[in-house]
Amino acid sequence: MLNIALPKGRLGERVYSMFEKAGFACPSIRENNRRLIFENEECGVRYFWVKPSDVAIYVERGAADIGVAGKDILLEYRPDVYELLDLNTGKCRMAVAAKKDFRDDPARRLRVATKFGHIAEGYYASLGREIDIIHLNGSIEIAPILGLSDVIVDIVETGTTLKENDLAVMEEIVPISARLIANKANFKFKCEPIERLLASLREQVEETK
């Protein structure tokens, strides 16, 4: 049985369609209910819907053999997993944003609100800029508006959230997309089905380029 952790939500549904095409279908998953685990014994596959930021934990600890996680999560938490493939979907970017009229004063420590403390620290360390991290769990865009921070480091997809809140991208840090990841030990034991899946996903990704 191949255990696959998928991120709940639109990205997970899109990725499931790719897995289905690859011969790892599990029709019951399309039923609209609140179950979180779906199994198809015939194909030898079991899917779990988990919170997107938790996929890497399931895979790192071997509760799932493989999974799909955003590059943002992999950069932030650096889980000890194999990164097998860039799925070329779930594309967005990690960026620094601020109020449109914000001007950085290098004499002061920069106050950075973010969910991605490691990414922000690494980015500003590479610039030699001293910062204070203000760790928030969501709705990061509010922080500069209320004066809690000078800038934010966050994911920008369509840019709508920034626009609606009168913020603008100041710098781009790194492009983000969904990645297929595997548990290191289980990859060896379940090499055959994983390689089979990987070959089809690679083809599908090439077709979308």
Which residues bind to ligand PRP, rule: CB under 6 A?
Answer: 138-141, 154-161
Q: How far is the CB of 64 from ligand PRP (least distance, A)?
A: 22
Looking from the CA of 197 toward its CB, the CA atoms found within 13 Å total 30
Measured from the Cβ of residue 209, the count of other Cβ atoms closer than 10 Å reads 5
Residue with smaller CB distance to ligand PRP, 17 or 139: 139
- Residue of closest CB approach to ligand PRP: 138
Residue with smaller CB distance to ligand PRP, 45 or 162: 162
Residue with smaller CB distance to ligand PRP, 28 or 139: 139
- Tell me whether residue 33 is exposed, middle or buried, using C-beta atoms within 10 angstroms of its C-beta: 0 to 12, 13 to 18, 19 or more: exposed
Residue with smaller CB distance to ligand PRP, 24 or 49: 49
Q: How far is the CB of 79 from ligand PRP (least distance, A)?
A: 19
Q: Which of 95, 63, 96 is nearest to 79 (CA)?
A: 63
Contact 133, 112 (CB under 8 A): yes
Name the token pair of 128.
Answer: 């030699």
Secondary structure (3-state) at 85: strand
Q: How far is the CB of 4 from ligand PRP (least distance, A)?
A: 22
Q: How far is the CB of 74 from ligand PRP (least distance, A)?
A: 16
Residue with smaller CB distance to ligand PRP, 63 or 134: 134
Q: How far is the CB of 147 from ligand PRP (least distance, A)?
A: 19
